[in-house]
Chain A
Amino acid sequence: MKKRVVKIVKIISIIAAVFFVISFTVYFFNLDMKLTAAIEPYLEKWHDKVKRERKL
């Protein structure tokens, strides 16, 4: 039982550590904003094609 708990705690700790390292790297180097800035032009092109009833 004790072994099992230790194993689970270990796995959770590893997952938490990996999550922290990846997410902190994304945060600090602003990778989230760099990615969204890169995809925005494609989304703009999409919106140019959306049908709208433009009128006063």
Chain B
Amino acid sequence: MGKKIGSERLGDLYQPGKKVRKRREWRGVKDTLYDYSRWLHTMGILGKFMLNKNNVKAFFRYRWMLNFLAVPMMVDRHTAGLRGNHLRIAHTEYDLVVEDVAKLMANMFRADKNTGNDREFSKKLVILDENEMSHLLCGFPNLIGVGREIPAVYVSVLLQQDAVCHYIDVAQEYGLSGDVCPMPEAEAGVSIDDDYPIFGACALQCNTTCDGSLMGNGVIARRLEKEHGIPCFQLAAPIRHTEDGVQEYAAQEIRNAIKFIEDCTGEKWDWDAYFECAKRFNAETRERMEWLQMSTTEYPQVIGANLALYTETVYMAIGGKVPAFLKADKKITKLAMDSFRKKEMIVPEYRHRAIIWGVQAQYYTDFLPWLQNCWGILPLVDMLSMVSTRMISEDDPKQAIYDMAHLYENMIMRNRTHGGYKVLLNDLWGFCQQFHADMVILWEHMSCKALDGMHGLFEEQAREHGIRLIWAVHDLMDPRVVPRASLRQDVNRYMRSVLREEPLDPSLEEIDDADSW
């Protein structure tokens, strides 16, 4: 317990068989008071949220809303062990993410037929897929893009590990395959269970990540169109997205999607509004590139799960639309530069520099803080953060269509799981070289066939490149199939038996969090 990094035995805070920790971390007076102030801020957002009658109604209508009881604990899990600027960087990220999700849900429940039922407002909303860029809405300043699956499924599992098990079971009760990816399965399950808010002028779906996504989208689109009369558009971005031959087709899909939104809402595409967002999007990309550049040095500052979750929000959900995110980006860069100059470290010892590759276990995103706190494995960057850094046009409408096509082809996860072995397999070794990594932690999402098919090739090439490769097997959103302890065991075994190392924090090596949120 104290202000020094690594001074607290973090494993002692766990309570076997319980959902929550014994107490919060003592980080020294200054950092504890700072953390307390951010906790107050989070409680303020939650309190304000619950003052709205639509939101209260939603809390008692939608089962997945219960997961949001765990918001403060989610922030605690992702700030474990942090001190000083690194704690401030993490809170800058999470403050904004929490605010943004609260705003998204408030909009949903205002328009939702089951809660606020504001029909005029509902006409201004466009439903988006969970794993989809929201960039197309930049050109429609009077419309709001809303991903219903973001709070219902994606964020829910971040908050509570078993958040969507109920919906996975519902989908399987209705005959959907049990070995499909749990994310689209849960998304389809929410639809079958009649647990999505109902609103919107139209819905824009995308062939985001896999055949599982297409399955889920089919089930959801049918109910949206047949039952609620909400038209759906399927934006089919090309699979081999790095090839020149597919770009004209990809651009045409963007034009078709714009036309679809115009027809459904009566709004007209606004290039001025789009380019304003494009400028901000480029500025955000430049900030992210600064952070990545720092991670190539001996003193990385913005790394791991927090970088991944924040990038997902900024790159996919915000896409340059909200000025507050660029402001936060600049603040993060300032804090990071300060720490970089002072050569500050995130954990007491950096034993291994790791690239995190593959699709993360959504029910255990704080596995990355565990890696750094328990074993001194620094999760420099992960696959989900390695998205496009290409500057997009800020004034040319013709080029902008191709830029948008590029972004939709290169959405998070999709940019690696689609596009062939070069983007999934070959690029990894280039990143190892760029970031001076000696280790790869490879998430093996057992239901993701696109990744599993490369298992042998990853092993063969890791040997060729002299990279230590640790598999972390999981089932994305279903901890009943692979519990969190099993993921840790994958690493513990390798560190003990292959590398013969001792943990930095032995209290974290074996912990009982099977029942924890």
Chain A interface residues (CB < 8 Å from chain B): 23-24, 27-30, 32-34, 36-37, 39-40, 43-44, 46-47, 50, 52-56
Contact = CB atoms under 8 A, between A and B. Distances in A.
B36 interface: yes
B22 interface: yes
A55 B20 CA distance: 35
Contacts of A44: 63, 66
A55 B66 CA distance: 22
B106 interface: no
Q: How large is the interface on B (under 10, 10 to 19, 20 to 34, 35 or more residues)?
A: 20 to 34
B343 interface: no
B21 interface: yes
A12 B319 CA distance: 44
B193 A32 contact: no
B496 interface: no
Given A27-B36, A52-B194, A56-B174, 13 more contacts: A30-B21, A30-B24, A32-B72, A33-B20, A33-B70, A37-B18, A40-B19, A47-B60, A47-B63, A54-B170, A56-B219, A56-B222, A56-B223
B39 A55 contact: no
A40 B192 contact: no
Contact of B23 (A28, A37, A40, A55): A28
Interface in B1-45: 18-24, 26, 32, 36, 39-40, 43
Contacts of A37: 18-20, 69, 517
Looking at chain B's contact residues, is the secondary structure mostly helix, strand, loop, or mixed?
Answer: helix
A29 B24 CA distance: 6
Interface of B: 18-24, 26, 32, 36, 39-40, 43, 60-61, 63, 66, 69-70, 72-73, 170, 174, 192-195, 219, 222-223, 517
Contacts of B219: 56
Contacts of B61: 50
B193 A36 contact: no
B70 A29 contact: no
Given A33-B21, A52-B193, A52-B195, A40 B66 contact: yes
28 contacts: A23-B40, A24-B36, A28-B26, A28-B32, A29-B23, A30-B21, A30-B24, A32-B43, A33-B20, A33-B72, A33-B73, A37-B19, A37-B20, A37-B517, A40-B19, A40-B66, A44-B66, A46-B60, A47-B66, A50-B63, A52-B194, A52-B195, A54-B170, A54-B194, A55-B194, A56-B174, A56-B192, A56-B219
A43 B174 CA distance: 25
Contacts of B32: 28
Contacts of B69: 36-37, 39-40
Contacts of A43: 66
B370 to A, nearest CB: 19
Contacts of B20: 30, 33-34, 37
A56 B73 CA distance: 34
